[in-house]
A and B are shown apart, each in its own frame.
Chain A
Amino acid sequence: MNCRSEVLEVTVEARQVEEAMLALLHTILLHRSSGKFHYKKEGTYSIGTVGTLDIDCDFIDFTFVRVSSEELDRGIRRAVSEFKDALSITGSDGMGQISLEFYQKKKSRWPFSDECIPWEVWSIKVNVVNLANEQERQICREKVGEKLGEKVINVVEVINRHEYLPKMPTQSEVDNVFDTSLKDVQPYLYKITYQITDTLGTSVSTTMRRLIKDTLAL
């Protein structure tokens, strides 16, 4: 099965990184979260209710909708926070990419560990810029708000193509498809990773890989 891959690109100021990432990731997860499944006898199940919440951004003229689940929000914020810190370490004008990957688990026989097969990957490329004065920052607030609006429309467009989604699982398989650890909602299994590109344009991981390869080659 092919993994669907979508790339979104945004240019923001350093202080807008967190909110921009939260806006986009939450928008995607809103569409990829379901209510909690309650399996009944005869193989049927009922689904819980997903609430929503409007969030106003402080540094961007934008409001986004997220799932009303504090646990989910905490998880996303943690990941975004790490990403933001990693970006700021590299210096002022940084570039990075945060990826939200939805995957299915495939149980393998011992001694092999379970496989994680992604079926949808969203990559958000971030360019961080520095602005000189307050006027530019004001303009940036509005512009980034508009851009995020466009990205939300892009996300919605992709999702509404109704392409591959994992089959609804039986009770025994539900943990291979959904993240059932949350109390109130049930998103598809996901993980968030990121990579930072240093100012030379190469990603840090490729530099490290090259170093190790060179060392081993000696």
Chain B
Amino acid sequence: MKDSLVLLGRVPAHPDSRCWFLAWNPAGTLLASCGGDRRVRIWGTEGDSWICKSVLSEGHQRTVRKVAWSPCGNYLASASFDATTCIWKKNQDDFECVTTLEGHENEVKSVAWAPSGNLLATCSRDKSVWVWEVDEEDEYECVSVLNSHTQDVKHVVWHPSQELLASASYDDTVKLYREEEDDWVCYATLEGHESTVWSLAFDPSGQRLASCSDDRTVRIWRQYLPDNEQGVACSGSDPSWKCVCTLSGFHSRTIYDVAWCQLTGALATACGDDAIRVFEEDPSSDPQQPTFSLTAHLPQAHSQDVNCVAWNPKEQGLLASCSDDGEVAFWKYHRPEGI
């Protein structure tokens, strides 16, 4: 189990601080990290090692909680506890802050770019999710403020191919949003977790959503369209979501992040017990009741809580992780034989 995840290297990305989040650029050549030292760092390879190519330091007054690359790879958004979201434009190895999005009442917890590149979503402890539109002149405009959650919103993620947004919250639910006649509406609430939902990840097809929680479980939700074969009830023309699998008993503390590899379908988790785990779907399992097996478990992957895991979008099996210990680690995942 330990051999399935091999350490390639570690970097002290945010010394004397914690590293909160990582994001690979769409080309898979750069990794952005952000942390409690209020900085964003960009990492790239030089031979066999990972080196820091840029430091983005003048953007935020407080912790940078998440970063997200635009689909074209030319922009990076950073969400901060200072209640703002910075948009950085890449010019070779330099990054320039071109806009600062304001409006949230307190800490921004997450930012995500829609696959079209024209929309951005942010969420905050102020319980709201904001949808922003970007035009060709790099002008950002807030087009919707969604107040569906009753507590702190921890994470937002876009569907891989449709303009569908999902959010995870301290109120123990996951909500889904879509555009309806020029406005954004919440069309589904996924209940089941027994505590804060920390993160979300869509599978490569976008038909399933994985959520991870403080309740130490990962839940897999499946989308059912109206008039589906399985007879799952839908309200009007809205798809319905059902929990089709719960992974429990594997994690001994809060699960902070879940990442679904878009190349292989492998599911990685970042846990407060300092471990990284990988799950794979059993090939013979029923799509309506899938089963997942634990294929890698690395205890003490870091010396403290693991906050984020991120699969490289181009290189199969390449996984990055970061921790409260301030380090970023790179791993090679080998699917065990016989699975």
Partners in one complex: no
User: What is the interface of chain B, defined by CB distance below 8 A to chain A?
Assistant: none
User: What is the interface of chain A, defined by CB distance below 8 A to chain B?
Assistant: none
